[in-house]
Structure 1
């Protein structure tokens, strides 16, 4: 299993903007066959160093993760995120 985690800091850090973007991420659930687990968390601390949203996804293999990266549904999410994010960081590991 491969776990893929991405954290996003948004340009607009208002609660409405964060929730709207969190929903864009949640909307991938059930639409990408290689995506075995999806969890979206919204930060509750709101410190200066906090990121606003965490996306945790799981895949059966690296090939599945690669297929996810180019899936049309994920590509639409990437378009949205490129417009609203200020910064992002990620980690991928065998789980």
Structure 2
């Protein structure tokens, strides 16, 4: 009986010890600008027909194809988040992409890549507006 209680105590103590380490682990796992590739390529798309699920899926599939371009370090494809409404938030877009590149030259090469050109050719009829914001880490 005493052995069982000791094991329960040790298991509980171990669980609490690991929980107490979570804030430190979460903090240490945050990525800094120095750890990210220096070029962020942010693109926002407004569909011609924002009610069309089919058009949205075609655009997302086209964006997924861009992952095959070697210069693309990473790619996030998204839709507006249901975050708190504030005056500074613009979630009027339908689909967004965020790409990271190792250099301005890599981003320039991406623009000329045949897969990117094919994406623009096959998907540009889907959007009424596109806004691009490129940023370099400081």
Deviation of 1:16 after TM superposition, in Å, equals 2.1
Q: How many residues align?
A: 91
Alignment of 1:26 with 2:64, yes or no, is: yes
For structure 1, which runs of at least 5 residues remain unmatched after alignment? Answer: none
1:90 matched to 2:127? The reply is no
Q: Matches of 2:58 and 2:126 in 1, distance apart?
A: 10
TM-score, normalised on structure 2?
A: 0.61
Instruction: Identify which of structures 1 and 2 has the higher relative contact order when contacts are C-alpha pairs closer than 8 Å and 6+ apart.
Output: 1
- TM-score where L is the length of structure 1: 0.87
Give the aligned partner of residue 59 of structure 1. Answer: 101
For residues 71-90 of structure 1, the aligned pairs below 5 Å read 71-90=113-132
Give 5+ residue unaligned stretches, structure 2.
1-37, 83-90
SS of aligned partner of 1:6: strand
2:118 is paired with a residue whose SS is: helix
1:19-56 residue CA offsets vs partner (Å, 9 max, x unmatched): 22111101221x111100111102356xxx61100010
Q: Distance in 2 between matches of 1:76 and 1:27?
A: 10
- Whole-Å separation in 2 of the counterparts to 1:89 and 1:21: 15
